[in-house]
Structure 1
Amino acid sequence: MIAVRDKVNFIQTGWMVNPALFGDGRPWSFGLWKGVNRTGCYNTRCPGFIQVSRTDLLSIPLSPLPKGEIGVYLSIEQDKKTGNWWATDVKYNGHGMHIGYWPKELFDLISTNANMVGVTGAVQASPSGKSPPMGNGYLPTKNEMESARVRDVDIIDSNFKVIGSRKYKLEKILDSDKCYGLRDGRKKSFDEGTYVLFTYGGPGGDSCGI
């Protein structure tokens, strides 16, 4: 993301529950962009995102894993030659699937780079003032398997080298500690199978301050 005065460019991808957008209460993967002259939209609701894969779509309902968990493994990366921003479904076998891309012409501030990378959880309160659950609805505890969690985030630097988020300063922001929580994860290697960047979420409720 880059913001300059009244301009902002960003691309987001991940998962959300949004009945107004999807028509049901299931979790869906999504993409969202904002570019030149405040243009932008979710998924393919306006011209912009170019779907390439015939099997791996940008926005689909997500099915629980065998243990009832839901996981999303997505990346946003800029192609060094074309400048286009690609959405990729990251596979643990080392072969990612390119979903599609946002052409560089959509943006006037992130044509060559972005100055901020964020990982976030967000909710929107209803007109009654009640805020919905975030994550799986549980506050984070010492047991990292009990709440929603984010594993290490890889960042591609200006030299197009992949660097783990541990090399960068992490700014943590929690808008409401009444209804939601945020905890640092354990800092161990992936080889040990225990590395978690942070855990987050909560039940929501009334007067959450969101």
Structure 2
Amino acid sequence: MKLAILHTEGIRYMGGKTDMKTWNPHVEEDDEYSTSRLALMSGAYNDYQDIESGWANDGSRETGCFDLTCPGFVQTSHEIALGAAIYPISTQNGLPYSISVFIFKDLNTSNWWLQYGGSINIGYWPSKIFEGGLGIHAQTVQWGGEVYSKNVGKHPHTKTQMGSGAFPIYISENTGFMKNMRILDNSMELRFPQYVDAYSQEYDCYKTQYMGDYIEEPDFHYGGPGRNPLCP
């Protein structure tokens, strides 16, 4: 698994939010996937809990579980079909289509709720499925892309794409793209995090570009083609 993300950590997070463009990246093998997601995490690097929401393009789903195939999530609204195809998707000729996701902790029940589109509470992860960690709060919030393949970090590298499949070399919305990124802290007010760090685990394969200086609303661009002349 390889990430290209915007990352914040260090305080008690009670939620995270973003708007993300939707794409249909190429996935090379049946046991691979490419996803763009908001993730809240707690725990050590090699022993952590996380909850995620976004969109994914995957093969046979043999690499793990998604949506209601994962134990624990309780769906309360059927306005959104989890795991169904998203339509329309963004296109390189300019059709901008995005989805909005918000994960937040209910302080009365300690459950983590998933909200879509700014108003639809799809369901929740019960607090009882978490021991410590996310049972209390998140320590990290991430925005960005993830590719799973047995051929990341190897040669030949996978051709599975991230985001739109394009590098965010120039300022363009025709890449993996997120905006309106927010965290929910102890104040229970949505705000942009004070400190963020953008990084890619395989920069020649999947890149990041964070635009946050001197603009009112920061943007985060990410993605790439996987295998290419710099990532053979």
In structure 2, the residue corresponding to 1:120 is in which secondary structure? strand
Aligned residue for 1:2?
A: 42
The aligned counterpart of 1:89 is 116
Measured at CA, do residues 137 and 89 of structure 1 come closer, stay the same or move farther in structure 2, by a change above 3 Å? same
Distance in 1 (alpha carbons) for counterparts of 2:180 and 2:171: 17
Contact 1:87 1:98 in 2 (8 A): yes
Q: Following TM superposition, where does structure 1 have runs of at least 4 consecutive aligned residues deviating by more than 3 angstroms?
A: 4-7, 65-70, 125-129, 206-209
Q: Is 1:147 aligned to 2:169, yes or no?
A: no
Q: Which residue of 2 aligns with 1:26?
A: none
Residue of structure 1 in register with 2:6 after alignment: none
SS at match of 1:105: helix
Q: Which residue of 1 aligns with 2:221?
A: 199
Q: What is the letter of the counterpart of residue 52 of structure 1?
A: T
Over the residues paired in the alignment, what is the CA RMSD in angstroms? Answer: 2.6
Deviations, residues 121-142 of structure 1 (Å, cap 9, x unaligned): 1113355642311111111133
Residue 119, structure 1, aligned to residue 135, structure 2? no
SS in 1 for 2:200: coil
Residues 1:17 and 2:40 aligned together: no
Structure 1-normalised TM-score?
Answer: 0.75
For the 8 Å contact 1:149–1:196, the answer to whether it is kept is no
In structure 2, distance between residues paired with 1:155 and 1:186: 16
Structure showing greater Rg: 1
Is residue 172 from structure 1 mapped to residue 212 from structure 2 by the alignment?
Answer: no
- Identity of matched residues, %: 24
The code of the aligned residue for 2:198 comes to: K
**1:47 has 2:71 as partner:** yes
- In the alignment, structure 2 segments of 5+ residues that lack a partner are 1-40
Is the partner of 2:198 in helix, strand or coil? coil
Question: Aligned partners of 2:89 and 2:68: how far apart in 1?
Answer: 27
Moved more, 67-76 or 112-121: 67-76
Which residue in 2 is equivalent to 1:157? Answer: 185
Name the structure 1 match of 2:127. Answer: 104
SS of corresponding position for 2:183: strand
8 A Cα contact 1:51 1:57, kept in partner? no
Task: Count matched residues.
Answer: 181
Q: Which runs of 5+ in 1 are unaligned?
A: 23-31, 33-40, 190-194
How high is the TM-score relative to the length of structure 2? Answer: 0.69
- Asked if the contact 2:183–2:191 (Cα under 8 Å) also holds between the matched residues in 1, the reply is yes
Q: Kindly indicate which of the two structures has a greater share of residues assigned to strand.
A: 2
Question: How far has the Cα of 1:42 moved from its partner?
Answer: 2.4
- For the residue of structure 2 that corresponds to 1:142, the secondary structure is coil
Pick which of 176-185 and 200-209 moved more: 200-209
